[in-house]
Amino acid sequence: MERHAYNGLGVAVVQSASRGIGLHITRALLEDDRYTRVFASCRRPASAAALEALRTSDQRSREKLRVLRLDVLDEQTVAEASDTVMAQADQVDLLINCSGVLHDEGRIWPEKRLADVRAEAVDTAFRVNALGPLLVARAFESSLRASRFARFVALSARVASIGDNRRGGWYAYRASKAALNMMIRTLAIEWRRFPRPIGCFAIHPGTVATDLSQPFRKNVSAKQIFSPVQAAEQILKTTHGFTTEQSGGFYAYDSQPIEW
């Protein structure tokens, strides 16, 4: 079968698809006939009920979607997920990293002031938000290299912009996403030297109605909040429009560049 039949699209990996934006990106990719296979990862497949419901929702999803276990805090699961994909697909054309942590059942909470900073929370934010996508990049590099023009996307956040930081606070989240942006930029430089370059992009999805933003949406006007369905559509439209020249950049959901 010709895997590159659709302008280089064909096989997609969604890293963290148990809920939120990643789940809806997975749903959109299943409905997109340009993709023949979709691998969607989660930390705990046995309790990822929404992802399992999506996988079993119809015959096409059953055939097209494969669920993988991947926890970015556990390198072995990252390697095993990559091995599974390599055994089942000749290449990966699109990999979207959706994992992210802003708060976590009280153990992690965005800091209002310096006195709120907790080393363990900062450490977790950096390991999930910044190091996580880098480990995924390393593990999936050879699958991405096999594609004609693979795209590697990480969901960042506008609050990571240093130039645009006017309100302060949120030390761990801001800094970990800024570190992620630096990693995307650095990866793009390395990956554009390949005979078949891999494009790398950091995307701010906007404010999206998910568990992550739920405690912080009361001061945001309803018009500025996207549903996860809308967010997934916008992210994929922007991603499919990227050219090699745009690799290494930080963009909003509507493809407008964001200052570093």
Q: CB of 68 within 8 A of CB of 40?
A: yes
- Would you tell me which residues interact with ligand NAP (CB under 6 A)? 16, 18-22, 42-44, 71-73, 98-101, 128, 155, 157, 204-205, 207-208, 210-213
**Least CB distance to ligand NAP at residue 205 (A):** 5
Helix (H, G, I), strand (E, B) or coil at 127: helix
Smallest gap from residue 21 Cβ to ligand NAP (A): 4
In the structure, how many helices (H) and strands (E) does the chain have?
8, 9
Tokens of 75: 């390198």
Q: Which is nearer to ligand NAP, 199 or 205 (CB)?
A: 205
The smaller minimum CB distance to ligand NAP, of residues 187 and 212, is found at 212
Tell me whether strands 11-15 and 198-204 are parallel, antiparallel or unpaired: unpaired
Q: Note whether 155 and 238 are within 8 A (CB).
A: no
- Closer residue to ligand NAP, CB minimum distance, 22 or 249: 22
Q: Please name which of 73, 24, 65, 64 lies closest in space to residue 44, comparing C-alpha atoms.
A: 73
Least distance in angstroms from the C-beta of 208 to ligand NAP: 4
Find the helix packing angle between 75-88 and 132-145, rounded to 10°: 20
Rounded CA gap, 91 and 86, in Å?
Answer: 7
CB of 7 to ligand NAP, least distance (A): 26
Task: Tell the smallest beta-carbon distance from residue 2 to ligand NAP (Å).
Answer: 33
Please identify, using beta-carbon distances, which residue of 11 and 78 lies nearer to ligand NAP. 78
Would you say 255 and 241 are in contact if contact means Cβ atoms under 8 Å apart? yes
CB of 39 to ligand NAP, least distance (A): 14
Nearer to ligand NAP, 18 or 147 (CB): 18
Provide the token pair at 229: 């369905």
Residue type, 140: F
Strand extents, DSSP E, 122-197: 150-155
Q: Which residue number, 130 or 149, has a Cβ lying nearer to ligand NAP? A: 130
CB 253 within 8 A of CB 238: yes
